[in-house]
Amino acid sequence: MPSFVGTFSYAIDHKGRIAVPTDMRRGGSARRPLSTFFLNRGFDGCIAVYPPEGWQRMLEKIRKFSPGDAKARAFKRAFLQDAMEVTVDSQGRITISPALIAHAALGKDAVLHGSDTCIEIWNPERFAQLTKKVVDTPGDYEELAAGLFKEEA
């Protein structure tokens, strides 16, 4: 499974197209760049961009939800709402739907952030606000790490 890292700033053109860096299209490996991605409403107001195998893994998890669980049905609807398959064009760009652009409050600029199993597309101001607290507040980064990387007994 590809692993996506790094943060890049790119422009979005009037047709909703944005370039995806070659390193991100490769998923951090030396293999051929991916030609297809799946986009959907990401968490915290971003757009999540999954490689095909990552998208399939997400769908497999969702398919295990109980159909009798109202919260599970609501999440499934929201997760799949506005989801789309996109093909990378000859210039390394993908096209984002107007609905997803609105969800992420994107203008003419965006931040592409590698988040391990997916790429996140962010409004630059929103991304800066979310990351500033953790990165710029002394102790927050370390405190989060300590809580997440606790040794299992």
CATH number at 47 reads 3.40.1550.20
What range does the domain containing 107 cover? 7-123
Tokens of 91: 């210039």
Q: Is 138 part of a structural domain of the chain?
A: no
Q: Give this prediction's pTM.
A: 0.88
The one-character DSSP state at 14 is T
Domains held by the chain: number: 1
The predicted structure's pLDDT at residue 137: 72
Q: Is 134 part of a structural domain of the chain?
A: no
CA distance 147 to 2: 26
Mean pLDDT of the chain: 91
Q: How many other CB atoms sit within 10 Å of the CB of residue 112?
A: 23
pLDDT at 153 over 60: no
pLDDT at 65 over 80: yes
The predicted structure's pLDDT at residue 42: 96
CA distance 120 to 96: 12
pLDDT at 27 over 50: yes
Q: How many residues does the chain have?
A: 153
Q: Is 99 part of a structural domain of the chain?
A: yes
CA distance 92 to 45: 24
* One-letter identity of residue 38: F
> pLDDT, tens digit, for every residue of 98-113?
999 999 999 999 999 9
